[in-house]
Structure 1
Amino acid sequence: MGQQLMGGVTLHKRLLDHLRTAVIMLDDNLQVRYLNPAAEMLLATSASRAMGQPLPDYFFDDEEARAALRQCIRDEHPFTRREARLAVSPGYEITVDYSVSPINEPGQTLCLLMELQPLDRLLRITREEALIHAHQATRALVRGVAHEIKNPLGGIRGAAQLLERALPTPDLTEYTKVIIDEADRLRTVADRMLGPRKPPEFKAVNIHECLEHVRQLLLAEHPRGVSIWRDYDISLPDVIADRDQMIQVLLNIIRNATQALLESHTEDARIIMRTRVLRQFTIGSLRHRLVLRVDIIDNGPGIAPDVQETLFYPMVSGRASGTGLGLSIAQSIISQHQGLIECESVPGKTVFSILLPMEQPEVTESEQS
């Protein structure tokens, strides 16, 4: 088989060329002797460029992985690695399962056959499904708690008003006023925890018009200190969504980014609003023909890793002055649009990505309630 692969076009090579599994063959010096089209796509390279070249130093950036390959050549014993991080190019990594098998044909030098299965898409789908299920469970719990909070507030407020009328001296009313004001404040918090009270009114919406509306609002609030850049795909068609709710989502996210930049006194503070279309893209477990992706990118201090895990939960905030409801409400709205909000953050770069199917969503009764 090794001789056939090194030679001209053979049945074996044609079979490998049509595999969806990425296949690489290395010689005993770890130089690339063959890679099939699936491997070219996975590694973002071409066979003509990689052929005869040593395995790049950045590909297996840890000595343990290279030692395992050399041991496989020495002992002629296959091995498998799970969820390995491979550096496809400097600064770009992928997650794969890979198996390495030695091939020792009589009269031929030993070769290593590597089979690589990409996991990034599977891991992303699994992560998104977990996020969607966690959000649905949390939303149901929070709505129940909010209803339980609101039920006695009317009685407390009414009793305080009756007590206020029966007080012997006017100076005592300041205490009943505190009760009434705090009851009103709690009711407002409970209403915000419940989220939007009506189902989305789906219409054709120009997402760039929504972004420009939010941009003007933010520039009016903060005329100095933060610049807002545009990176639009102007060829995007309208998306089927609720315009007012989309503006609320964008405003919550971009306002959070603006406040984080101002509070951290970031030099050259900027926010980038980017729009793109994704084709045949999966959100959770559902595959959509066209998906709108809106990225809100800032160059602020980033979000702490422990906060990122619970960022979309109610009452969780990365800022001392935050209420922790804005992102939870935004996620609820996008969930009703059958979409998802994701966040990736490192110091100097935070990206909130809104993923929204461009076709008409089907709203269920549970989403309306």
Structure 2
Amino acid sequence: MTLVSKQAGRHSLPSLAGLELLASAVVLLDADGQIVYANAAAENLLESSLKALSRQTLSAQFLNPGELDNICSQAREHKFSDLRQDLMLERAGRDALHVHSIVSVLDEPAGHILIELREHLQHLKLDREERILDQSQVNKELIRNLAHEIKNPLGGIRGAAQLLEMELPALHAGQLREYTQVIIKEADRLQTLVDRLLAPHRRPHIVGDVNIHEVLERVRSLMLAEFPSGLTILRDYDASIPEFRGDKEQLIQTVLNIAHNAAQALASRIDNGDAEIVFKTRVARQVTLAKVRYGLALDLHIIDNGPGIAPQIRDRIFYPLVSGREGGSGLGLTLAQTFVQQHMGVIECESRPGYTDFRILLPLP
């Protein structure tokens, strides 16, 4: 393989322009093992820009670079034209990368090595997202049909209880009215639940220009007004994120539902004064959302230091009426997922004791 290049940087490597379109990470090392090129997927994988990576060694990105260094040394000694090997690359303070590596030595420039890294979990993640999307569509149809079936007889039950109350004999009206009031109040409660189930399908999707940080600041104000002490909401924003087309009110409701759930899970830490929620925004590159590939996507994280989500419901938290706390309706996350999907995005969750991260990915222009 031959590459004609004199300087590092995307614009000075026209022969590598096609690598920007790849979903797998590609890194070019010079004869000294320093990074002179990384495509967008590599920037995303290594969580750093080409500018920051340039002239660093790839080995410096990991805690256990031995195997990777050994492969590169063999490549420079021309022991193979290309080598494929599975690696687990450990990183400080982050999850280890389980990758399939393809290392190729270049004829020109001499001593340069091209490394391709493919995450093993990537295809599993895509399959999982497709299953979640399909399951969500089925759930929405089931909920909508069930809610309509409940709504009609519910009105009849309430009306019959009101008529019965009017016909009660005066002698026992006070005592018997307690029973009719129970029927009416429970019918009203179920009506409210049905209305919430149908809410996402009733409200029109109003699209306009959205600044995600305005959305987050609005939610932050609402949360701090409700929890004025004991809760800290930290900002970790990427100011370069552009505006995009979306429904601002739906996105506010989405973030608010997640943040409110987090605050309720943080109740004991709020009492202790050390509860923390973090709003973090980044740009992700070359992302597949709802089976469509996007060059850029908003990568929004809502992180809390609460007790984590119970393992027995962790895989079902976006299902309707599934709640991790007593008295919860189990609709907040269902609505959040519906609103995110209406924006062609995905929402996922990672949780363990002391750390819960809801991640929202939305396509950017």
| Equivalent residues of 1:294, 1:354 under 8 A apart | yes
Note if 1:262 corresponds to 2:262. no
Count matched residues. Answer: 306
Instruction: Give the C-alpha shift of residue 159 in structure 1.
Output: 0.7
Who is 1:249 aligned against?
254
In structure 2, what is the equivalent of residue 29 of structure 1? none
Does residue 194 of the first structure (1) align with residue 198 of the second (2)? yes
2:259 corresponds to which letter in structure 1? Answer: I
Measured in 1, the distance between the counterparts of 2:243 and 2:173 equals: 59
Alignment of 1:1-369 (within 5 A): 86-90=88-92, 91-97=94-100, 117-168=118-169, 169-171=172-174, 172-196=176-200, 197-263=202-268, 268-359=274-365
- Farther off after superposition, 131-140 or 116-125: 116-125
1:57 to 1:282, Cα distance in 2 relative to 1, 3 A: closer
Identical amino acids, percent of aligned pairs: 48
Q: Which amino acid aligns with 1:187?
A: Q
Cα–Cα, structure 1 residues 116 and 272, in superposed 2: closer, same or farther, change >3 Å?
A: closer
Q: TM-score, normalization: structure 2?
A: 0.71
RMSD: 3.8
For 1:182 and 1:49, the matched residues in 2 are separated by 66
What amino acid is the match of 1:165?
M
Contact 1:226 1:262 in 2 (8 A): no
Does the CA contact (< 8 Å) of 1:22 and 1:36 recur in 2?
no
Structure 1 position 59, deviation (Å): 7.1
Cα distance, 1:279 vs structure 2: 3.0
* Partner Cα distance (1:203, 1:164) in 2: 50
**Larger Rg, first or second structure (1 or 2):** 1
| Structure 1 unpaired stretches of 5+ | 1-10, 24-32, 61-79, 100-113, 360-369
What TM-score do the two structures reach when normalised by structure 1?
0.70
More deviation, 184-193/350-359: 350-359
Distance 2:188 2:230 in 1: 35
Counterparts of 2:283 and 2:37, CA distance in 1: 25
SS in 2 for 1:233: coil
How many angstroms does 1:358 deviate by?
A: 2.9
Sort the Cα spacing of 1:58 and 1:190 in 2 relative to 1 into closer, same or farther, 3 A: farther
What SS does the corresponding residue of 2:266 show, helix, strand or coil?
A: helix
Q: Retained in 1: the 8 A contact 2:318–2:333?
A: yes
8 Å contact kept, 1:95–1:120:
yes
**Distance between the aligned counterparts of 2:186 and 2:163, measured in 1?**
16
Aligned-partner Cα distance in 1 for 2:333–2:58? 45
